[in-house]
Amino acid sequence: MGGIVTEAPDIDNIQRNIERARQNYADAMNALRNLAPSTVKLETVIEAADEFGSEHALRLLKENHTRFGWSSSLDSSTADRLDEALATLMERTQRLDELFAERENFLCAADPTRLRRYCIDARECVIDPISNTVTFMDDPKRAYRLQEVKTEDSVVLDAHRDQRRLGDRQDPDRENEPKF
């Protein structure tokens, strides 16, 4: 067949890499926990770093150290260590995401009925679009309902759709046109 050679993926090797990446993630998470006092809302610091970058999260923390529960302003040494720890955690989160995507691309192609698995906080999960739930594989009996997220873009898009529907009802010449 035209000299095309496709190799079967080494799923076992990918899974071993996922397990190593999970351990690396746990190590980075522990390093971050060791830097932050117990009063710090670490999940919000991580969320800010994940969404906007570690530099942005650190800048927010420097601007208002109480924003995330830090009791005093950061000295430059702690800020540098925190920046490095956050950046490391973000890199390791990205690596886990890449490995999961690589594995799932092969497994979902082999079985189109398979629900794609994702990685959230180093935990494997499936998102079921029919039931609108996320289930973590380490706690499969418990499913969490997904909450609708309204972004500025989605609000504008919804308003445009509503306007278009209203316009369609008011124009009798358009009643035979296809509606998308």
Per-residue pLDDT 10s for the chain (180 aa) are: 445 545 556 899 999 999 999 999 999 999 999 998 888 899 999 999 998 888 898 888 888 888 888 888 888 898 899 999 999 999 999 999 999 999 999 999 999 999 999 999 999 999 998 899 999 999 999 999 988 877 777 777 777 777 776 555 555 555 555 554
pLDDT at 179: 52
Edge-to-edge strands of the sheet including 143-145?
Answer: 117-120, 123-128, 133-136, 143-145
Q: What's the pLDDT tens digit per position in 111-127?
A: 999 999 999 999 999 99
Rounded Cα distance, 106 and 110, in Å: 6
At residue 5, the pLDDT reads 42
